[in-house]
Amino acid sequence: MIFDPVTISGFSSQETPFYYYDLTLLHKTLLACKSASDKYDFHVHYALKANFNEQILNAVKNAGFGADCVSGNEVKKAIEIGFDKAKVVFAGVGKSDKEINEALDNDIFCFNVESVQELSIINELAGKKNKKARIALRINPNVDALTHQYITTGLEENKFGINQWELTTCTEVLKQSSHLELIGIHFHIGSQITDLDVFKSLCVKVNEIHNWFNDRGFQLRVLNVGGGLGVDYHQPDQNQIVDFEQYFKIFDQFLERRPGQEIHFELGRALVAQCGSLISRILYVKNGLKKNFIILDAGMTELMRPALYQAFHKIENLSRRENSNTIKYDVVGPICESTDCFGKEVELPESERGDLIIIRTAGAYGEVMASGYNLREHVKSVYSC
């Protein structure tokens, strides 16, 4: 993302901190994903948890994607924005009765069910409305995503999904549940997966479990393989758009798909991460004997990822790109927490108070995690056309 002097000058006139969204890059990314998935007639649902900024959501909806939601309010937001209800999926390990009832009232496409008990609850609530709820079973495949332990979701020690030894119980409950329609099975093994061989392993496991259901007379309409495709945080300019072609090709080659069966995906980060950046201003520079600090006006209240799971984001000084004299800084925020740090020993041009700093690849799990801790004002958004 190369900024010309006019753009940087425009940033200087804005009150910081703010999120900057490159909508041109977003549209290119969405088009690349849609083109690659359409080649195999795959269905992609956008994971709202990555970013529910309305301009982002409108762009995703207009590109023809569905919506993957993990809360009742995300379901409502998707429908308010105009996503087709027939493309809205409701996942989440802890759906409340209120959330389930509202989703039933909206006649969404499918509930991704994460426990045996949830099957009985949805059946009971649907029965009270004289409705039949379409469901997919989220199954824990025990596949290691080879990513950070805090964003791994497909191992047996994770809280997500139904374990494989519970499947017989699930089928027994389903046979007694007249208000449930099993349409598919669902998997999601983690986030920020960059080793594509992991998805080959997932396909092998999905095939195995798919055959288990088929042998017991369950003809599944949908195989939902989740998402998790990672992006390049270290070299965002060289890899602005992920290799969707290779990603979808893996599932076409290794997933056993029966005639008429739909393959569904739930992508979030891969669609929106690179289009968003956090723009901040240096408040103070502290030079020490062992450490130098840059203190920004943005903190963990604006971008939680580094504090939450030590996530890396590329950091650049927009005001001094031509300065070759570099210093290593710990780049930190103003929040009264020691974990309020964006990066340690970051090599930057010698910086001064008032310089503009950009934190890259912040379009996913950035603005959505912003908080009002320390009574901070909610971070603003600025958009390119």
pLDDT of 233 over the 90 cut: yes
CA distance 201 to 259: 23
Q: Where are the alpha helices (DSSP H) in 152-266?
A: 167-175, 197-215, 244-254
Domains of the chain: 5-18+274-384 (2.40.37.10), 40-267 (3.20.20.10)
Residue 335: phi and psi, rounded to 5, are: -75, 145
Q: Is the dihedral of CA 254, 259, 261, 265 positive or negative?
A: positive
323 pLDDT tier (thresholds 50, 70, 90): low
* Separation of alpha carbons 70 and 99, rounded Å: 10
Q: Which of 88-97, 137-146, 276-285, 298-307 has the lowest mean pLDDT?
A: 137-146
Per-residue pLDDT tens digits for 205-224: 999 999 999 999 999 999 99
Cα-Cα-Cα-Cα torsion 77, 29, 278, 1, nearest 10 degrees, comes to: -160
Closest to 125 (Cα-Cα) out of 100, 143, 107: 100
Angle separating helix axes 54-62 and 23-38, nearest 10 degrees: 30
Q: Cα-flanking dihedrals φ and ψ of residue 63, to 5°?
A: -80, -10
Enter the tokens of residue 98.
């209120």
The CA distance from 327 to 331, in Å, is 12
Any idea which of 95-99, 193-197, 313-317, 361-365 has the lowest mean pLDDT? 193-197
* pLDDT (0 to 100) of residue 95: 97
Identify the pLDDT of residue 9. 74
Cα separation, 259 vs 200, whole angstroms: 21
C-alpha to C-alpha distance for 65 and 87, rounded to whole angstroms = 8
Report residue 256 as tokens: 């056993």
Question: Which conformational region is residue 312 in: left (phi greater than 0), alpha (psi within -120 to 50 degrees), or beta?
Answer: beta
Strand (E) or helix (H) holding 19: strand 18-22
**Average of per-residue pLDDT across 329-344:** 97
Place of tokens 């009832």: 101
Q: Report the share of the chain in percent with pLDDT over 90.
A: 86
149-171 pLDDT, tens digit each: 544 443 455 667 899 899 999 99
